[in-house]
Amino acid sequence: MSSLFTRAEKDIKYGVTNYRQAHGLFVRSVPLANVVIMAEGDWFISHCSGKASWGYAGFVQVDWELVQGVHVMGTGEMMNGGAAGEPHP
């Protein structure tokens, strides 16, 4: 589990005060001796000049070791970067 909160007095991109938060979970599982599954999901919010934007990002990765030192990996990702004024939960 991780959490981050930052405040920029003058945001480099927008030139105004900006508050940013990101909170997430990371999981690693070994269901079989030669298979590892990793997953991460993050939720974030940026509050800039009275406008909030919300979003999320995540991935799932499977690592299968065929023989020692030879790996086959697959990754699935998703993201919603959020936009100012966008409806949120």
pLDDT at 26 (0 to 100): 96
Most confident of 18-22, 55-59, 61-65: 61-65
Most confident of 13-22, 47-56, 57-66: 57-66
In a domain, 85, yes or no: no
The amino acid present at 13, given as its one-letter code, is K
In a domain, 50, yes or no: yes
In a domain, 86, yes or no: no
pTM of the model: 0.70
In a domain, 70, yes or no: yes
For the chain, what is the domain count? 1
Mean pLDDT in the chain? 87
- What three-state secondary structure class fits 25? strand
**Mean per-residue pLDDT, 20-38:** 95
In a domain, 25, yes or no: yes
Supply the range of the domain harboring residue 67.
2-80
